[in-house]
Amino acid sequence: MNKVVAMILAGGEGHRLSILSAERAKPAVIFGGKYRIIDFTLSNCVNSGIFKVGVLTQYRPRSLNDHIGIGRPWDLDRARGGVTLLQPFTGRRNSDWYKGTADAVYQNSYFLEEGQVEEALILAGDHVYKMQYNTMVAFHRLKDADVTVGIVGVPPKDASRFGIIALDDEDKVVDFQEKPSHPKSNLASMGIYVFKKQSLIEALAGDAKRKSGHDFGGDIVPSMLGSKKIYGYRFRGYWRDVGTIDSYWEANMELLAPDSPLDLADAENAVKTQSQDRPPAKLGPKAKVSNSLVCSGCVINGEVRHSVLSPGVRVEEGVLVEDSILFDDVRVMKKSVVRRSIIDKEVLVGEDTRIGYSEDYTPNEDEPRSLHSGITIVGKKVRIPGGIRIGRNCKINAGVRESDFTTDFVASGKTVGRLEEVIVSPT
């Protein structure tokens, strides 16, 4: 795989993840307690023998840059190859903020030209899956394709969220629809493409001259239909687009299933990440933990059911945490209950507080399409006073303090705090 270069698209804003991606790039969002979403794509690269990797960042890149660093956890701190962070900058000719996924790669075409590269592997940095890319590259070479698209079957009800592909009997792509209202099939693009280098360079140059959305799924691949050989590579493993609150929560909960489709304990295809120097998790004499992931540094003196706890979470006596995801260093004080919630880093939940407290499923007033299934989200560094009752589909914006709660009950679907007034660290 030394003739393959991987380029990971990691610059999108991720509006559908609401406040989880308001202060950090979507690929930098915590997943599974100890990982960041981009860890899966980076680990797939090295597990496939691909060690020349470019990460294209743009939106709020600080957290992502800090996490990746020089690439040591993934064995990408190399004199030859390794990981390179590719950020847009103004001030020189032919350089500007990225106008789309294709434009991002086009502005970094020099990265493709360096070395003896034959194929370019274009990857999304915000999906959760394990995949051997070398198998897909071998398929691409066997077909002598100009471009090969990774495809996966999705439930028909979700098909309109994806690029939908039609194949002939030889797995050649005969139609490509980007997020169609009425999908013709349930074969979805994974946002993974293998290109012959020269075919990609020519397609990007042509796209740059056209009025276009400068997007791989919406513009590049459809423009090549009929004139280039395009094949679909069927992936039959676990793959999740975690771009919405519901899909993100569901993917975390799937880790807790007895027969979880995503095996994080597989040492042969391990998911690697930056390690934290934390003590072992501690369970006190009154602790009860069932069907949960509990990371290092956690101190549990209450009850945790079917939840994912990141490093440093503290659950005090009399507390119940259920069906929830708690990020690093959250503290839930005595007698509180947290149900079906996602709580960002360094949040303090005061004593005798209830989160996810209601049978009312009114959608959120600000984000009804993102928050409608009963999940309440709490932003980074929020301080919730004791005795508060917070309903379902609520949004507590990052940095909110005790004084921002004007009553002791936040009704389902309500938002506390104005996001644009709060500035917190993006990590």
Same domain, 173 and 37: yes
Residue 44: strand, helix, or coil: helix
In a domain, 169, yes or no: yes
Long-range contacts of 340-343 (CB under 8 A, 24+ apart): 340/374, 340/375, 340/376, 340/392, 341/375, 341/376, 341/377, 341/378, 342/20, 342/245, 342/248, 342/249, 342/375, 342/376, 342/377, 342/378, 343/377, 343/378
Q: Which of 234, 254, 274 is the last residue of a domain?
A: 254
In a domain, 266, yes or no: no
In a domain, 234, yes or no: yes
Give residue 91's pLDDT: 44
In the structure encoding, which two tokens stand for residue 14, read together?
Answer: 């991720």
Residue 341: strand, helix, or coil: strand
In a domain, 261, yes or no: no
Same domain, 364 and 289: yes
Q: How far apart are CA 90 and CA 94, in angstroms?
A: 9
Same domain, 210 and 302: no
Same domain, 47 and 126: yes
**DSSP class of residue 143?**
H
Give residue 14's pLDDT: 67
Give residue 331's pLDDT: 98
Same domain, 228 and 293: no
Helices (H), 195-335: 197-209, 221-224, 245-254
Domain of 362 in residue numbering reads as 282-421
Same domain, 13 and 160: yes
* Residuewise pLDDT in 10s, the chain (427 residues): 779 999 999 977 768 899 998 888 899 999 999 999 999 999 999 999 999 999 998 877 788 999 999 999 999 998 788 999 998 765 444 556 788 889 899 988 888 887 688 999 999 999 999 999 999 999 999 999 999 999 999 988 888 888 899 999 999 999 988 888 888 888 999 999 999 999 999 999 999 898 888 889 889 999 999 899 999 999 999 999 998 999 999 999 999 999 999 988 888 889 999 999 999 999 999 999 999 999 999 999 999 999 999 999 999 999 999 999 999 999 999 999 999 999 999 999 999 999 999 999 999 999 999 999 999 999 999 999 999 999 999 999 999 999 999 999 999 999 999 655 444 555 6
Give residue 424's pLDDT: 54
In a domain, 335, yes or no: yes
Same domain, 37 and 83: yes
Give residue 419's pLDDT: 56
* Total domain count, the chain: 2
Give residue 421's pLDDT: 47
Same domain, 212 and 289: no
Name beta bridge partners: 119.
Answer: 4, 196
Domain of residue 211, CATH code: 3.90.550.10
